[in-house]
Every structure is written in structure tokens, then in C-alpha cells.
Chains A and B, each alone.
Chain A
Amino acid sequence: GAVVSQHPSRVICKSGTSVKIECRSLDFQATTMFWYRQFPKQSLMLMATSNEGSKATYEQGVEKDKFLINHASLTLSTLTVTSAHPEDSSFYICSARDLDRGYEQYFGPGTRLTVT
């Protein structure tokens, strides 16, 4: 149980375009979903926290107009990178939590974004 999927696993897009990444909790309802970004050989940096049906809470330094997060249902959150630039190339990882199950976060497999 507690499986989180991400789609796509890899995406290449041209500079200036937008790309959407989906995060789904497959067998539980996620009251909270988290989005992280990870650069090579670095740790996971929390970008934003989203609760179903409400606006995401962004970490300091993360542009909310550039990284649009929608948590439309208890099993789906999306991250849209708008007007992507090469410096947005990174590994994006989502996680989901159901507080009824405890504090643990369940992580997705990640999405490798490359902006050319």
C-alpha cells in the first residue's frame, strides 16, 4: 500500500514552453502533497506544500507564478513549470501524506525535466 506515481518520468521541452507533471496517490487519499526539486548530487529542496482544495504554500524563494501547483483532488496534484528555462532542468519529486495514517510521506519515483 501507499504507492505514489508520477507522470511523466522524463520530459524534454524547449525553452519558453510549459510542462505539467502529475503526482497521484494510487491507493490512499493524500490530505497533503509536497513538491521537491533536486539538483545533481544535492539534497531534496522543498518547493511547496499543498492541501487538497486550497492554495499551495510555497517555500521562500520559489516563484509561485512560475511553478503552478494544483491539488484538485485527494489523489492528484500537478506541478506546471511555466515558461521553462534551462536552469529549471532538475529532478522533480512529489510526495503524499495522509495524516490519518501518520506523519510519513510516501514519495513518487521522480520526474527528470530537461529544458533545451
Chain B
Amino acid sequence: GESVGLHLPTLSVQEGDNSIINCAYSNSASDYFIWYKQESGKGPQFIIDIRSNMDKRQGQRVTVLLNKTVKHLSLQIAATQPGDSAVYFCAENTGNQFYFGTGTSLTVIP
């Protein structure tokens, strides 16, 4: 499979601060990327996506940035809340398949 990796396995942030989670991907032909949130014992939950013809996309409190030059993806969460504590995965679409990164565990400190 493809190699999609995250730079930081764990991240702790203070409630109210902004969080940045990073991801490196390896396949320059990937054309679609998604960030997922996974809570313990549950399936992944879609957060935000971005196509390769874009470099930034914003949602509610979240922003995804794509740098195709260095094959880097990031997820920014504004005003992080305790409910944001979870594991976050990036995934890249290559053809008809998705490959997931290793995940970053985000802990929000009240």
C-alpha cells in the first residue's frame, strides 16, 4: 500500500488553543485527501476533505492545508474543545483505494 505518515503520534493542547496536526503522504498522484476523527471503539468520522487542485479548504472550526510541493497535509482546529480529543487520521485517495496515515492522538486539557 501507499505510505501516508503523520509527524507527531501524540499532541496535547490547552482548551481554547488552536491545534495543528500534520501528515506527510508519498504518492504525488493522489488526487483527494480526507481527515478523519476516530473516537475509541468507533469507526472513523469524516471531518474535512480537499482535492489536489486546491491548497486550502475551511470548514466549521477546521481548516485543511495541502502543500503538493512537499507532499504535506495539515489539519488546523480552532478553539480546541474537550470533545475534540480523539485520534486523527489523514487518508489519501489513489485510484479506487484509500490509504490511512498512522494517526495522531489529540488530548485537550481542560
List A residues at the B interface (Cβ < 8 Å): 4, 6, 32, 34, 36, 42-46, 49, 59-60, 91, 93, 95, 103-110, 112
Chain A proximity mask over B30-50: 1 for CB below 8 Å, otherwise 0:
001010100001111110010
B8 to chain A, nearest CB (A): 14
Question: Which of A4, A46, A60, A109 is within 8 Å of B98, CB to CB?
Answer: A46
* CB <8 Å contact, A105 and B98: yes
Q: How far is A51 from B1 in the complex, measured between Cα atoms in Å?
A: 19
Which range holds the interface residue count of chain B?
Answer: 20 to 34
Q: Within 8 Å CB of A108, what residues of B?
A: 43
B45 to chain A, nearest CB (A): 7
Interface of A is mostly: strand
List B residues at the A interface (Cβ < 8 Å): 1, 32, 34, 36, 41-46, 49, 89, 93, 96-103
* CB <8 Å contact, B45 and A43: no
Question: Which of B1, B49, B101 is within 8 Å of A104, CB to CB?
Answer: B49
Question: Which of A46, A93, A95, A109 is within 8 Å of B1, CB to CB?
Answer: A46
* CB <8 Å contact, A110 and B103: no
Q: Can you name the residue of chain B whose Cβ is closest to the Cβ of A40?
A: B40
A80 to chain B, nearest CB (A): 20
Q: Contacts A43-B102, A59-B1 given: A103-B32 contact, CB under 8 Å? A: yes
Q: How far is A34 from B42 in the complex, measured between Cα atoms in Å?
A: 16
Q: How far is A42 from B42 in the complex, measured between Cα atoms in Å?
A: 13
Q: Can you name the residue of chain A whose Cβ is closest to the Cβ of B4?
A: A43
* CB <8 Å contact, B102 and A60: no
Q: Within 8 Å CB of A91, what residues of B?
A: 41
What are 27 A-B contacts defined by CB distance under 8 Å?
A4-B43, A36-B100, A43-B89, A43-B100, A43-B102, A44-B44, A44-B89, A45-B1, A46-B98, A49-B96, A59-B1, A93-B43, A95-B98, A103-B93, A104-B34, A104-B46, A104-B49, A105-B34, A105-B98, A106-B46, A107-B36, A107-B43, A109-B42, A109-B43, A110-B41, A110-B43, A112-B41
